[in-house]
Structure 1
């Protein structure tokens, strides 16, 4: 189960940064937008990962996976785009506003 362990630091950073951004204005709006982006990225990841795996472009050693799959794609593949959907807007919210700086 190597890949699930690799995901943990990305998940932890995303949770911490998102929590820190909760005090910034527009948190609810940002979370709704992130949820929409996450849903789109989830669908795109499901489609394209399954196509690429089915085409034989890459494989994953079963002993390094959690065993949970969506089609042919391991669940671990979905973590990075989903972390990005929430983490990137949170980091942007934490950066100083360049218009007032």
Structure 2
């Protein structure tokens, strides 16, 4: 690395991108949710994202300490802030934080909105006219009719 580039500055574009995608996902989720729908699903989603984020950060801390301790990865002391989590610089957690923001946000943005009325009709038809969802049943054949 040259000049005044630091590990923290390398993480900034990644974190900014993740934050922008998370904000867009929040807007999309709010529009899909509407005003009259229940918010219980949102609470479950937020709690599961937080638990997953904490687990990811703990695992990142453990494995980063192992790879730095074994000498697989080394950091230039002139390019880090000086704050460390065990053996690795705190800047290295930025990528895990970005992933915690980015993955659920992409999930929300790429999810197809469900049309409740058509989903109900499909399930209703499936119970009466099909063997499994979406595949019609055929009457049993006699052995002589089998090709």
TM-score for both structures, normalised by structure 1 = 0.85
Question: Which structure 1 residue ranges, 5 or more long, are not aligned?
Answer: none
- Structure 2 gaps of 5+ residues are 34-40, 116-147
Q: How many residues align?
A: 100
Does the aligned pair in 2 maintain the 1:7–1:79 contact within 8 Å? yes
Structure 2 counterpart of 1:78? 93
**Alignment match, 1:39:** 54
**Which stretch shows the higher mean deviation, 87-96 or 5-14?**
87-96
Report the Cα distance in structure 2 between the residues aligned to 1:27 and 1:12, rounded to whole angstroms: 24
Q: State whether residues 14 and 86 of structure 1, in contact with CA within 8 Å, keep that contact through their aligned partners in structure 2.
A: yes
TM-score in terms of structure 2 length: 0.60
> What residue is the counterpart of 2:77 in the other structure?
62
Give how far 1:32 is off.
2.3
Query: How much does 1:95 deviate?
Result: 1.8
Which is helix-richer, 1 or 2? 1
What do you get for the CA RMSD once the two structures are aligned? 2.0
Instruction: For residues 20-44 of structure 1, give each alpha carbon's deviation from its aligned partner in whole angstroms, at most 9, with x where no partner exists.
Output: 1113145544332221111001111
Structure with higher Rg: it is: 2
Instruction: Note if 1:15 corresponds to 2:4.
Output: no
- The answer to which structure, 1 or 2, has the higher relative contact order (CA under 8 A, 6+ apart) is 1
